[in-house]
Amino acid sequence: MTQPKPLSVDCDRHGRKISAVVCCHMIGPNARPVGFIENKSEPNDRQAWCYACEEKFEEEGEMTQAFHEFNNMRLVCIACYAEIRSRHTLPSQ
């Protein structure tokens, strides 16, 4: 079975790149490190959220409406995703 072609996004900083998704808590230049939990089940589908989102997901038991509202996922390019991962990965990870 072939992998679907990854979606792309036009990034103001990096141009047209493959897209990725992160929670809203990791976005912004002043965002303090909040942890980085990555979905590794699909290598061409980069998704990550912070520790608080992981706690909310475990509390809800699945991706409920309350989880989606708390998480408020944002679309970014893979270059921004790599920068976000570097900034939010905590030393104990």
- Asked if residue 3 is part of any domain, the answer here is no
Query: Domain range for residue 60?
Result: 8-88
Q: Name the residue with tokens 């141009």.
A: 15
- Asked if residue 93 is part of any domain, the answer here is no
- SS3 percent helix, strand, coil of the chain, rounded to 5, is 35, 25, 45
- Asked if residue 46 is part of any domain, the answer here is yes
Give the count of domains, the chain. Answer: 1
Name the band, by pLDDT with cuts 50, 70 and 90, for residue 3.
Answer: low
Nearest to 85 by CA among 12, 27, 17: 27
Average pLDDT along the chain: 90
pTM for the whole structure = 0.86
- Asked if residue 2 is part of any domain, the answer here is no
- 23-68 pLDDT per residue, tens: 999 997 766 899 999 987 776 789 999 999 999 999 999 999 999 9
- Asked if residue 71 is part of any domain, the answer here is yes
